Amino acid sequence: MDYAAATYVRFEVKKTMGKYFSEEFGNPSSFNAIGLSAKNAVESSREKIAKILGCSQKEVIFTGSGTESINLAIKGIANAMKNKGKHIITSKVEHHAALNTCKFLEENGFEVTYLDTDRYGLVHSKDVEKAIRKDTILITIMYANNEIGTINPISEIGRIARKHNIPFHTDACQAAGFLDINVNRLNVDLMTINSGKIYGPKGIGLLYVKKGILIEPLIHGGGQEFGLRSGTENVPYIVGFAKALELAQKEKNKESKRLKKLRDMLIKKLLKIPKTILNGHPKKRLPNNVNITFLDVEGEALLLLLNEYGIYAATGSACASEKLEPSHVILAIGLPYEAAHGSIRFTLGKKTTRQDIDKVAGVLPKLVENLRCISPVDVKMSTIRELMRR
Ligand SMILES: *Cc1c(COP(=O)(O)O)cnc(C)c1O
């Protein structure tokens, strides 16, 4: 129930990676046979990915993670464009990789507009357009939210960015396993994808950078990745990433259909528990995401109890949960502080079955009831409904 945080490396991926560890271990920059063979592996992976994204190979930059790609997109554009302007538009529900990069830039003379979302966590394109100024140099809005699964109208926002001639980046880390990632249909200039969320290895990501977009590297050195990300390429991981993306995109329709059924089954069962709220959009939602607020329940306590039953769920994002702060996403969609604490994310994946859904739905009512017995708070559903009516 925590596939949005991590997926296992699938068999086919592991198998294709295998020989690039100890047999074909050359450096792609070496001018010899094993170097050339490593280079070929990297370039054929890049070609595979470019085909899926609908772009040219020179527009695909391999990085060390989703976080690094997002940093490269935001800081890279900011540094390249700072003489033109210093204003960036993003949203309040982005991943911390984007939010904290923006915060860092704010401390360094840039101005950032953090757009509100509606109660479902949806960013509206008319709000993006309203926020555009003469000095706006970048718009960065996530494709699908990692906590509540809401899918943003990326192609529409992209059209607005194009009309105003402003570079547009999207964080597609949660989308790549389920949605269309063709950069032309999406109207994006930059796009981040990582491998660890699509049954590939962790610690490898990519940034799509459209030809003609001005961007500065974060890492300088030998000039690999068209000068945008120096350092010897992670050959086995690049090969694995390409294989994982290829399989994910090939299987996305069938797998989405299967998971949607399980997702909706789980949502229906959990909403039967009194004082529960579904977070995120009911329809424009990732096929594997269920996010429920259990009022008067401490989310972390519920996680520990679920863990005892071998059920691994999450509160907020993996990175936020160390701080025991309620999720910034749940707060942004308008839930009050006390309610935000009881929000749990269940994310389904390849090995999730009907039996798993029944198990979770069977165990939860009692656990929630027990925790409520010892809860000092008693939030009224009517209060929540009033707040959510905005
Ligand atoms: C996981 C994730 C990231 C960060 O990716 P890493 O590869 O862990 O650095 C960024 N954005 C979203 C939406 C994610 O789900």
How many angstroms does the Cα of residue 370 sit away from the middle of ligand 1? 34
Protein fold of 252-389 = Aspartate Aminotransferase, domain 1 (3.90.1150)
pLDDT of residue 378: 82
**Closest C-alpha residue for ligand 1 atom 6:** 66
Q: Each residue of 55-100: pLDDT tens digit? A: 999 999 999 999 999 999 999 999 999 999 999 999 999 999 999 9
Ligand 1 — pocket residues by CB below 6 A?
65-67, 95, 97, 142, 146, 171, 173-174, 194, 196-197, 205
Residue from 95, 141, 147, 321 whose mutation best tests the ligand 1 pocket (most atoms within 8 A of CB): 95
Global confidence as pTM: 0.96
Place of tokens 């859904």: 357
Q: Each residue of 346-357: pLDDT tens digit? A: 999 999 999 999
* Spacing of C-alpha 363 from chain mean position: 29
Domain ranges of the chain: 11-248, 252-389
Distance (Å) of CA 47 to CA 41, 52, 179, 238: 10, 9, 20, 12
CA gap 258, 350 in Å, rounded: 9
DSSP secondary structure of 38-51: HHHHHHHHHHHHHH
pLDDT of residue 390: 54
Distance (Å) of CA 56 to CA 92, 175, 209: 32, 21, 10
Which residues, 6 or more positions from 370, have their beta carbon under 8 angstroms from its beta carbon?
305
Distance (Å) of CA 74 to CA 133, 167, 198: 17, 10, 23
CATH number assigned to the domain with residue range 11-248, chosen from the 4 options 3.40.50.10470, 2.40.50.100, 3.40.640.10, 2.30.130.10: 3.40.640.10
Which residues of the chain have a pLDDT value below 50?
319
CA gap 180, 386 in Å, rounded: 36
Is 319 designated active site?
yes
